[in-house]
Amino acid sequence: YTKDLDTKTDIISTVEFNHTGELLATGDKGGRVVIFQREQESKNQPHRRGEYNVYSTFQSHEPEFDYLKSLEIEEKINKIRWLPQQNAAYFLLSTNDKTVKLWKVSERDKRPEGYNLKDEDGRLRDPSMITMLRVPVLRPMDLMVEATPRRVFANAHTYHINSISVNSDYETYMSADDLRINLWNFEITNQSFNIVDIKPANMEELTEVITAAEFHPHHCNTFVYSSSKGTIRLCDMRASALCDRHSKFFEEPEDPSNRSFFSEIISSISDVKFSHSGRYIMTRDYLTVKVWDLNMENRPIETYQVHDYLRSKLCSLYENDCIFDKFECVWNGSDSVIMTGSYNNFFRMFDRNTKRDVTLEASRENSKPRAILKPRKVCVGGKRRKDEISVDSLDFSKKILHTAWHPSENIIAVAATNNLYIFQDKVN
């Protein structure tokens, strides 16, 4: 089914389930975070699985201005990461280009009443009027969900933050920008450790930027980062404080027959994700998704074509800047299926075992609530069959960059511009 966010103008910029999938957070271009919560299964309709309803909405980041550099800092939320739940409250990290914030989201259904020094509206009382001491009491009230910023991790990034990743020790996290990666402790906001720095002494020698970074899901000393040259480096924080020397380097030699003016641009990696098992890493570049085995550095073990029909259109995709779009990719809970986005509100799924793939569409016209998604097909040249869409009529302004997969069920969230779609397996 589809769910509209309350705003029409705001483009969703990130989507993330919490570790059990009961909560789903989205961030948008306007700096807002909207959290959806799955309804409890109802006793009368046991076959109806819970839908996701808005649980909390709050403004995470505001537009700012860097007076020193005369630059505007956008409020757009680049990434959200949940922390595992430890008490009644939920914690998440959100980041824009420069500043990471730790938010606490908690429920309140009681209100203290009967303060001595202030009245019920919070105004201070005239001390001369206070003649007796009262004991404040808690009174029940309607459930309220509050979001409060607990920590602000600022002033550590000169370039734009593209990734944040929570370490499996749950005490630290990292934030990566174009040239550097910093390691933070959740408790300490005035200091971070620089663990990767690829900034050349002379910026004219710059040939490569960091595009994404992620911690290993189980080994707290290991992380990977990807680059605009299509390479992935695996680093071990035990080796040295500054991980400038990688311990593994994943790169596929380029097929010389495919070389073109666009080779370097389309090989830039826009997303990197460890599998839940920690054995594989998945990378997304402009035309493909690749799966790498941590034990094999010289080529990926699987390569999936996302939209190979665009290979002949790279020139116009360069002219309209689409070639620089940053598509993300996700695993399903058991690492057996991969999902990533494309244009025309299409998204793709690849089954690693059966090698079957499917193209689906997230659009209002085609997916009424509870409708079943029909596979779509793009045809290249020749005769167009019924139900097929020609490459030339794809809408490149409708792109699916951000998706998320429920950690243990076949439920997916797909962000299409300012609409969020949640699809689930058919229930009999």
Ligand X SMILES: *[C@@H]1O[C@H](CO)[C@@H](O)[C@H](O)[C@H]1NC(C)=O
Residue 260 lies near ligand X (rule: CB under 6 A): no
Q: Does residue 332 interact with ligand X by CB under 6 A?
A: yes
What is the chain's Cα-based Rg? 24
Question: Is residue 258 a contact residue for ligand X (CB under 6 A)?
Answer: yes
Question: What value, to the nearest 5°, has the Cα angle with vertex 287 and ends 283 and 292?
Answer: 25
Least distance to ligand X, CB of residue 230, Å: 10
Return d(Cα 344, Cα 342) in angstroms, integer: 7
Least Å from the CB of residue 11 to ligand X: 25
**DSSP letter string, 280-340:** EEEEE-SSEEEEEETT--SS-SEEEES-GGGGGGHHHHHHTTGGG----EEE-TTSSEEEE
Q: Which residues between 71 and 130 bind ligand X (CB under 6 A)?
A: 84-85
142 binds ligand X (CB under 6 A): no
Binding of ligand X by 311 (CB under 6 A): yes
Which DSSP state fits 127? G
Please give the Cα distance from 357 to 374 (Å, whole number).
Answer: 13
For ligand X, what does the binding mask look like between residues 12 and 31, x meaning CB under 6 A? ------xxx-xx--------
Residue least distant from ligand X (Cβ): 333
409 binds ligand X (CB under 6 A): yes
Longest Cα–Cα distance of the chain, Å, equals 91
How many angstroms separate the CA atoms of 400 and 359, rounded? 12
The upper half-sphere exposure of residue 278, i.e. CA atoms within 13 Å in the direction of its Cβ, equals 10
User: With respect to ligand X, which residue has the nearer C-beta, 235 or 329?
Assistant: 329
Burial of 122 (0-12, 13-18, 19+ CB in 10 A): exposed
Query: Which CB atom, from 87 or from 128, has the smaller least distance to ligand X?
Result: 87
> Least separation, in Å, of the C-beta of 274 and ligand X?
16
Q: In angstroms, what is the minimal distance from the CB of 9 to ligand X?
A: 29
Pairing of strands 377-379, 388-390: parallel
User: What's the rounded Cα separation, in Å, for the pair 51 and 278?
Assistant: 30
Please identify, using beta-carbon distances, which residue of 71 and 315 lies nearer to ligand X.
315
What number of chain residues touch ligand X (CB under 6 A)?
Answer: 22
Nearest approach in angstroms of CB 287 to ligand X is 8
- Binding mask 184-203 toward ligand X (x if CB under 6 A, else -) reads ------xx------------
Rounded distance between C-alpha atoms, residue 26 and residue 5, angstroms: 10
The CB-of-288 to ligand X minimum distance in angstroms stands at 7
In the bound complex, what is the minimum distance in angstroms from residue 421's beta carbon to ligand X? 17
Element (H, E) at 263: helix 263-267
Work out how close the CB of 127 gets to ligand X at its nearest, in angstroms, rounded to a whole number. 34
Distance CA 346, CA 340 (A): 9
- CA separation for the pair 262, 338 (Å, rounded): 26
The minimum distance between CB 38 and ligand X, in angstroms, equals: 7
Residue 345 makes contact with ligand X by CB under 6 A = no
| Sole binder of ligand X in the list 221, 263, 408, 418 (CB under 6 A) | 408
- For ligand X, give the closer residue by CB, 55 or 346: 55
The pairing of beta strand 411-416 with beta strand 180-185: unpaired
| Listed ranges 44-52, 331-339, 363-371, 372-380: which one lies at the site for ligand X (CB under 6 A) | 331-339
Binders of ligand X among 206-245, rule CB under 6 A?
Answer: none
- Piece of the chain touching ligand X by CB under 6 A; list 133-141, 210-218, 334-342, 379-387: 334-342
- Residue type, position 125, single letter: R
Alpha-carbon gap, residue 18 to 52, rounded angstroms: 13
Q: Which stretch binds ligand X (CB under 6 A): 137-145, 197-205, 223-231, 327-335?
A: 327-335
Q: Name the residue nearer to ligand X (CB basis): 244 or 308.
A: 308
Least gap, CB of 124 to ligand X (angstroms): 30
Backbone angles phi, psi at 312, to 5 degrees: -85, -5
* Residues in touch with ligand X (CB under 6 A): 18-20, 22-23, 37, 84-85, 190-191, 255, 258, 308, 311, 332-334, 336-337, 408-410
